[in-house]
Amino acid sequence: MSNKTILIDLDGVLNNYTGNYNKEIIPEIKTGAADFLRKLSKNYNIKLFTVRNKNQTQKWLNENNIAEYFCDITDIKEPAWVYIDDRCIKFEGNYETLENQINSFKAWYK
């Protein structure tokens, strides 16, 4: 087990979120997510990064039999090796490029 931590987003990464946020409902788990997490958890500490209610999120993890792959649920951007998110842009050190990346950004499900 590596001591590297990965902060992974819930909506749009691990579930079938398509941009319509409803705080009462966590969308269905995305096909392949459980397998991906099982493999990843062998080599990394995985933390779930979400602003959703922690109890509701824990329940969703339990119902989908993937709770064992996570060491924590947090809404804080804690130090991590990498951050996985459906709405992020990788900064490459150049603001001109960054502005273009922002202006042309599109989530994968859009």
CB of 110 to Mg ion, least distance (A): 12
Q: Which of 7, 8, 9, 57 binds Mg ion (CB under 5 A)?
A: 9
CB of 38 to Mg ion, least distance (A): 21
| Among the listed residues 101, 95, 100, 38, the one whose alpha carbon sits nearest the alpha carbon of residue 69 | 38
Residue 48 interacts with Mg ion (CB under 5 A)? no
Residue 45 interacts with Mg ion (CB under 5 A)? no
CB of 3 to Mg ion, least distance (A): 26
Task: Please report, for residues 86, 87, 88, 93, 102, the alpha-carbon distance to residue 99 in angstroms, rounded to integers and kept in the order given.
Answer: 18, 15, 13, 12, 5
Of 52-91, binders to Mg ion (CB under 5 A) are 86
Which residue lies nearer to Mg ion by CB, 82 or 94?
82
In 2-108, DSSP assigns E strands to 5-9, 45-49, 72-74, 82-84
Residues 58, 19: contact at Cβ < 8 Å? no
Q: Which of 5, 6, 8, 12 binds Mg ion (CB under 5 A)?
A: 12
Residue 11 interacts with Mg ion (CB under 5 A)? yes
Alpha helices in 41-108 (DSSP H): 54-63, 95-103
Binding site for Mg ion (CB under 5 A): 9, 11-12, 86
